[in-house]
Amino acid sequence: MSVFTPVPESVLADWLKDYAIGRLVELEGISAGVQNSNFFVTTTLGRYVLTLFEGIPRAELPYYLHLMAHLSRHGLPVPGPIANRHNEYLGTLQERPAALVVRLSGRSEMSPGLAHCGRVGAMLAGLHLAGQSYGRRQENPRGAAWRAATAQVLRPFLSADEQTLLDAEIAFQATVDVAALPAGAIHADLFRDNVLWDTDADGGVRIGGVIDFYFAGYDALLFDVAVTVNDWCSTPDGGLDAERAAALLDAYHAERPFTDAERAAWPAMLRAAALRFWMSRAADFHLPRAGEMVLVKDPNEYRDILRLRIATAPPLPR
């Protein structure tokens, strides 16, 4: 994360009087993440994560917070949001919309093996199945409309080659029949740093938490699978590791079998997912936001992944 907006301890201590979670013991800014300001908050009653939302319109925030509550209620390791004494998940702190969620245990695994990929595939299918009964609907904030608008802003910062790649890929994506694909609430950013791992009693790996639902939205479920495969199963040069991809996709398929339309759209979805993160990283890189601790991820990694996915894509399991 990053901290764009600092929060003095005295201000937070006062704000917490609106909650039933005890008194402030410790406040610590978190340096991972790119979108919002995040803090670990320890009180006399528990451990929480405080998020100050930096760019997301306030009206869109209930979708994310209620989705997290919905998935948590369905038994998935998703941080439940904390309601304040007015029974609201969303408050205001330092003139920003702000929310507290439960702090889940575990650490990210940035070098996942087959067991990790299998568990992530099964978890993603679980999120998609539980999401089918989520009553609210909000479009993917990084979907086709965002892509078109951001392409205009980005173009002047790109090389001639990159402009050609961007234009061609946006034109290609416009030809894909996304409406033919099963859709629902998707996480849309299930990268390795958004999954926390714990250890089982028998020493096996276990997902302790899936975090950061603030890019979630309604879209093709397969887009979410593609985002996840591109991050969890890429080799250092951006190619796909066939074994890790198979572990993730087989485990997903065992919970929610892929349809024929999804099989046909898979290469295009891997490309759409790569394009989305190339564009967002390039926008963050060329148009950085001011902040106390700001993390900017390498856009070229996803530009290269996009080029490789255009060249080749593995099939989905049958």
Ligand X SMILES: N[C@@H](CCOP(=O)(O)O)C(=O)O
Interface residues toward ligand ADP, by CB under 6 A: 1, 30, 32-36, 38, 49, 79, 101, 103-104, 193-194, 196, 209, 211-212, 214
| Cα–Cα separations (whole angstroms), residue 150 to 127, 144, 146, 157, 286 | 28, 10, 6, 12, 12
Q: Got the DSSP string for 125-153?
A: HHHHHHHTT-----B-TTSHHHHHHHHHH
Please report which residue ranges of the chain form alpha helices under DSSP H: 9-15, 61-73, 114-131, 144-154, 160-173, 221-232, 242-255, 260-286, 299-311
183 beta partners? 220
Instruction: Report the partner that residue 30 touches, choosing among ligand ADP, ligand X, none (CB closer than 5 to 8 A by kind).
Output: ligand ADP
Instruction: Report the partner that residue 281 touches, choosing among ligand ADP, ligand X, none (CB closer than 5 to 8 A by kind).
Output: ligand X
Residues 54/36, Cβ–Cβ less than 8 Å: yes
Fill in the amino acid letter for 70.
Answer: H
Question: Where in 63-102 is the site for ligand X (CB under 6 A)?
Answer: none
Q: Which is nearer to ligand ADP, 121 or 209 (CB)?
A: 209
Instruction: Report the partner that residue 38 touches, choosing among ligand X, ligand ADP, none (CB closer than 5 to 8 A by kind).
Output: ligand ADP
Residue 34 within binding range of ligand X, rule CB under 6 A: yes
Residue 285 within binding range of ligand X, rule CB under 6 A: no
Residue bearing tokens 């904390």 = 82
- Rounded to a whole number of angstroms, the minimum distance from the CB of residue 240 to ligand X is 17
Using Cβ positions, the residue closest to ligand ADP within the complex turns out to be 33
- Rounded to a whole number of angstroms, the minimum distance from the CB of residue 126 to ligand X is 20
Residue 277 within binding range of ligand X, rule CB under 6 A: yes
| Closest listed residue to residue 214, CA positions, set 48, 42, 52, 29 | 52
- Which residues lie below 8 Å from residue 163, measured CB to CB, with a gap of 6+? 155
Q: Got the DSSP string for 269-313?
A: HHHHHHHHHHHHHHHHHHSPPP-SB-----HHHHHHHHHHHHH--
Instruction: Report the partner that residue 282 touches, choosing among ligand ADP, ligand X, none (CB closer than 5 to 8 A by kind).
Output: none
Stretch that binds ligand X, among 54-62, 108-116, 120-128, 275-283 (CB under 6 A): 275-283
Q: Which is nearer to ligand X, 187 or 256 (CB)?
A: 187
Question: Where in 197-236 is the site for ligand X (CB under 6 A)?
Answer: 212
What is the x/- site pattern for ligand X, positions 99-118, by CB under 6 A? Answer: --------------------
Q: Which is nearer to ligand ADP, 25 or 32 (CB)?
A: 32
- Rounded to a whole number of angstroms, the minimum distance from the CB of residue 276 to ligand X is 9
Residue 191 within binding range of ligand X, rule CB under 6 A: yes
**Conformational region of residue 185, where left means phi above 0, alpha means psi within -120 to 50, and beta covers everything else:** beta
Measured between alpha carbons, how far is 278 from 301 in angstroms, rounded to an integer?
8
Residue 297 within binding range of ligand X, rule CB under 6 A: yes
How many chain residues bind ligand X (CB under 6 A)? 12
Q: Which is nearer to ligand ADP, 34 or 233 (CB)?
A: 34
Measured between alpha carbons, how far is 248 from 227 in angstroms, rounded to an integer?
12
Burial 57-81 (b: 16+ CB within 10 A, else e): eeeebbbbbebbbbbbeeebbbbbb
Residues that bind ligand X (CB under 6 A): 33-35, 189, 191, 193-194, 212, 277, 280-281, 297
